[in-house]
Amino acid sequence: MNYLYIFLGAGVGGVLRYWFGSLIQSRAGQFPLGTLVVNITGCLVMGILAARWAGPGAPREEVRLAVLVGVLGGYTTFSSFGRETLALAGKGQWGAAGGYVLASVVLSLLAVWAGSLLGAKSTT
């Protein structure tokens, strides 16, 4: 059942990302402000909920999965990246946190570049 809750939450998050990102972007011009705002708001909500739901009074696991993994995962995976980086830093693992940030950004950009090359080759 947990997979169903995540699936449904991800659908909601994806629709929210598209709606809100498009709303912001329609006023922004060339700079990808819609994506930036979505990532920042997703991280903000992830931080708030992860902190509030860490102790007593936390909602059931199904709700946590549906919202944190599903909705926020569908809204932006950047929120999970932020939470994981903060967790490493919170444990004093600064090298690992910095390495994770660097690897995530650089390898993701390289993957997009490689994917665009592969995609362009397949259409020619």
Reported as a single tens digit per residue, the pLDDT across 49-103 is 988 888 788 899 999 999 999 999 999 878 888 888 999 999 999 999 999 999 9
Q: Note the pLDDT of residue 57.
A: 83
Range with the poorest average pLDDT among 4-8, 32-36, 75-79? 75-79
Q: Note the pLDDT of residue 52.
A: 87
Q: Which residue has the tokens 């690992």?
A: 96
% of the chain exceeding 70 in pLDDT: 98
Tell me if residue 93 falls in helix, strand or coil: coil
Q: Which residue has the tokens 């860490």?
A: 54
Closest among 42, 36, 52 to 9, alpha carbons compared? 42
Closest among 87, 89, 79 to 40, alpha carbons compared? 79
